[in-house]
Amino acid sequence: MSSANLRRTPDATEYHDSVREALVEVAENSFFAFVDPVEPEAAGEVLSMAPGWLQATVVFEGAFGGAMQIALAEPLAVELFASFLGLDPGEVPDDARLFDLVGEFGNMVCGSWLTRNCQRRRFDLRHPEVVRLTSDAPPRTEAALLVVTLNGQPACLRLTFSEA
């Protein structure tokens, strides 16, 4: 194998299975939520179910570099907040706490995925950046976008890699 092959920029779709596994681990263990896959042909319809989105971007460096973006339908983020802290399901957090939740969710999924894929190598995660996406600008449907539902509500994840 040539060194050029060893250093190629990874294709994000190659990692969809391991990303989904990390998502399931985080959702089930810490948020008591269940992940269901969404077929690519149904992705657009599922994404349109969300009235609005909160998106976390987690930049990583180390064995390989890039970023993981995780977008949660806003009602889902509210539900996960209550699950995580053991609160009444109807409790609505303020934006600061909701953004903290989405950032930590993204941090956990990214870290769990990197732990699986970096094996013995070290990596670093930057502080998550969280933004609210307007309802008229939802996540773009594309091959690299992994769409799932958590407790029946839409979520999606995009992995991008820095140039090797």
Interaction site with other proteins (CB under 8 A) = 25-26, 29-31, 81, 84-86, 97, 100-101, 103-104, 107-108, 110-112, 114-115, 118-127
Closest CB to other proteins among residues 7, 97:
97
Closest contact distance (angstroms) between CB of 164 and other proteins is 20
Closest CB to other proteins among residues 129, 141:
129
Closest contact distance (angstroms) between CB of 140 and other proteins is 27
Closest CB to other proteins among residues 104, 160:
104
Best CA proximity match to 72, nearest among 99, 110, 96: 99
End-to-end C-alpha distance for the chain, whole angstroms = 16
**Pairwise CA distance, residues 77 & 54, whole Å:** 8
DSSP 161: E
Closest contact distance (angstroms) between CB of 120 and other proteins is 4
**Pairwise CA distance, residues 9 & 31, whole Å:** 33
Q: Which residues pair with 55 in a beta bridge?
A: 71, 131
Closest CB to other proteins among residues 33, 71:
33
